[in-house]
Structure 1
Amino acid sequence: MLHNGMMLTAKEIREASEISFRDDRLLFTTEKHNGTGYCEIREYRGIQPNARTEKEKKIEAKWQNKFLVRFAFITRIWDQKRDGSNRIKEILDLLTKDFFPDVIVVNSVFWDIEKYRDRWLHSRRRFEYYSENLERFLKYFNARQIEAIRSKKLKKPTVKIWRSSMNISNYARSGFIQADTNSNLLKDNVDRANAHNVGIIKDNNWDLLDAKFITDPSVDLFQAADGIHWTPSAHRALTCSVLSHIAVATGEGLPTLPLKINVEKGETRLLRAEYEDVINNLPDHVEVPEFNPVFENV
């Protein structure tokens, strides 16, 4: 959405390790494969100069180099090796060395459970490795955040968001799933992980964004044919949910249209001047609804 507001295409959703994706740049990637060793790190530094009209040039000037987005694809939330190395810790340290994030959004469930063959321990009501790994990750980031505040690299605490995993279907099929996997059991374990994570997330003072709650009511519309991936509409719904959460958490509040409500007349009036001010700050390619000053309250 920072790039041009247009929804992802099905092809874009499945791409990986591209040199550039919608004006970002690839910082690091392993060879592309479906194994646990895969990793990809990307960076987006704001709108790049590619405006076609004078209006878009003015908009670009406002936003160039105004934000920094970094993305890391990992296959496990915490990856402590016997030799003491830890790929996730190294990635976190690297990506927060120069700038500490104002916002972090993390999701890691499916690969942790499926690729690493983690088991749900009924007697202990937790996963054999995943539960402890998640707690280690959250505590490590929290400690890094305290260091950043003390060193004045960060002015106020980071908005820390854990996004729960969307569901997979009973017929899920993909190169990500191992041949001998029971899809029904995997689906149950994803649900268990989402539910069990709530307490861990809360105890470590992270916010929880329930992606399963957002996508489940429209699963027939949102889920792709393979039962694992999600459609462009689903990604847009999740993006809007993340942005809404950030807006509220930072105190900015949700964006609203300039409306004046008249309860007695039962109508809501859209204020032309304020509405046009919003429209004038949109790029030319964004479709704008025709101005309709009055509509009835429902």
Structure 2
Amino acid sequence: MRETVSHREARLLLHNKFVVVLGDSIQRSVYKDLVMLLQKDSCLTLKQLKNKGEMSFELDSLVEGGCLGQMNNGTEYREVRQYQSDHHLVRFYFVTRIFSRYMQSIMEDFRRGLKPDVLIVNSCIWDISRYNPNWTADYKENLKRFFDELKMVLPEESLVIWNLTMPLGKRIKGGFLVPEIVHKVPQLRYDVIEANFYGWTLADAYEMDVLDLHFQFRFSLQHRTTDGIHWNAIAHRRITALLLQHIAQAWGVTLAAEDGHQTAAADDAYREILTDSLSFQENPEPLAENFRPAVRSRWPRPQRKQRHNPYEQPRYGFDYMRPPYSEPYEDHRHEFVMRTRHGRPHYAPYTHRRPAHPPFHGYY
């Protein structure tokens, strides 16, 4: 899959579409990067990633909450943002719990107003840390209520993408981490993995699409910021590319700009950002914990004793044979990266239709 998509491709794919993003501060950055890409081939700055509740970001507007109300780190904090152009509408709701009285008011917005063509949603870290020490039963029940409500409110054509929560660091700090829950920090990254399992299982049971960002970024921890929770602009542009490619596949279209130079320029800009490590905060631990290189080629090769049995299989540690866990990546071997339940045809006048092929219900 491509690392990025161009501004022109994003605009054409989402032409006359209504996109809603629901979730916490990471989802807010997902919204911001999408708004940025719909206007130009640029990535977010560190200041734009850190800001919250501002009156305007890249021609969007603050609809509710944020600096219009009381800025705080409580569970009652609200922020609703919206970007609107002649042919695009993108909205963001900040939520701290997957199902609550506030979420019911959001559903009422969908019931009475415009139905989203794409709903990108995640809620996890606040749910499992701020409300109940024994969060498992509450979280599963709230997930069920949320998906039930979605089924009743949204039409079948709406594409719902459940994002799995990205990996947390060993040491974390953030606005949601009030003193009362600091003792949960050592266990929280493992709780996220468990909560991701529940979210994926229920989303799949309700025939929602799933994007496993935890899997996608498990070896990209150098792009996680020093607070152990948030991610830099490079990671967020990659998330946007994954989302747009997933949407394109669900709608049965191919991402292709009319001018190939536009895509090449976007790829060049992305590579330039990748080489500039001074623009963003970086995690001092660039590799995943417990990560071992597949082939230890820098080690001196020890002398092997002569084997008496000519049919004896060589040992991995000394013969530098490729161990099983370093086999080449094959799509069918990783079933839970991104799952598409079924196609949802949409009118996309400026994209290229894929050639006819048998129905595909597999995995990326």
Secondary structure of 1:104's counterpart equals strand
| CA shift digits 1:65-92 (9 cap, x unpaired) | 111111101111101xxxxxx2111122
**Residue 40 of structure 1, aligned match among 69, 79, 88:** 79
Q: Which residue of 2 aligns with 1:195?
A: 197
Q: Which residue of 1 aligns with 2:48?
A: 12
User: Structure 1: where are the runs of 5+ without partners?
Assistant: 47-64, 80-85, 121-126, 147-155, 257-273, 290-298
Q: Which residue of 2 aligns with 1:132?
A: 141
- Is the 2:96–2:123 contact (alpha carbons within 8 Å) kept by the matching residues of 1? yes
Aligned partner of 1:248: which letter?
Q
1:283 Cα shift? 9.8
Distance in 1, matches of 2:197 and 2:213, equals 12
1:18 Cα shift? 1.1
Q: Which residue of 1 aligns with 2:38?
A: 2
- Is the 1:105–1:161 contact (alpha carbons within 8 Å) kept by the matching residues of 2? yes
Question: Taking structure 1 as the reference length, what is the TM-score of the superposition?
Answer: 0.71
Secondary structure of 2:120's counterpart equals strand
Q: 1:237 to 1:288 in 2, by over 3 A?
A: closer
1:175 Cα shift? 3.0
1:42 Cα shift? 0.9
| CA shift digits 1:240-278 (9 cap, x unpaired) | 11111011111112448xxxxxxxxxxxxxxxxx7xx33
Q: 1:288 to 1:246 in 2, by over 3 A?
A: closer
Secondary structure of 2:99's counterpart equals coil
**Residue 261 of structure 2, aligned match among 256, 262, 279:** 279
1:44 Cα shift? 0.8
Equivalent positions of 1:46-65 (< 5 A) are 46=85, 65=86
Distance in 2, matches of 1:198 and 1:161, equals 11
Q: How many percent identity over aligned positions?
A: 32
Count of aligned pairs between the two proteins: 229
**Residue 78 of structure 1, aligned match among 68, 75, 99:** 99
Q: Which residue of 1 aligns with 2:152?
A: 143
Distance in 1, matches of 2:97 and 2:49, equals 20
Q: 1:283 to 1:161 in 2, by over 3 A?
A: same
Q: Which residue of 1 aligns with 2:163?
A: 163
Distance in 1, matches of 2:89 and 2:128, equals 31
**Residue 216 of structure 1, aligned match among 203, 215, 218:** 218
Highest RCO, 1 vs 2 (Cα 8 Å, sep ≥ 6):
2
Q: Which residue of 1 aligns with 2:108?
A: 93
Secondary structure of 1:191's counterpart equals helix
- Is the 1:3–1:23 contact (alpha carbons within 8 Å) kept by the matching residues of 2? no
Q: 1:185 to 1:18 in 2, by over 3 A?
A: same
Give the aligned CA root-mean-square deviation in angstroms. 2.4
Secondary structure of 2:189's counterpart equals helix
Secondary structure of 2:161's counterpart equals strand
Q: Which residue of 2 aligns with 1:239?
A: 240
Distance in 2, matches of 1:94 and 1:5, equals 32
Q: Which residue of 2 aligns with 1:54?
A: none
Q: 1:182 to 1:23 in 2, by over 3 A?
A: same
Secondary structure of 2:254's counterpart equals coil
Aligned partner of 1:249: which letter?
A
Secondary structure of 2:106's counterpart equals helix
Secondary structure of 2:238's counterpart equals helix
Distance in 2, matches of 1:168 and 1:280, equals 35
Aligned partner of 1:76: which letter?
R
Distance in 1, matches of 2:264 and 2:241, equals 17
- Is the 1:244–1:254 contact (alpha carbons within 8 Å) kept by the matching residues of 2? yes
**Residue 66 of structure 1, aligned match among 59, 70, 87:** 87
161-170 or 30-39, which deviates more:
30-39
Aligned partner of 1:161: which letter?
I
1:98 Cα shift? 2.7
Aligned partner of 1:169: which letter?
G
160-169 or 173-182, which deviates more:
173-182
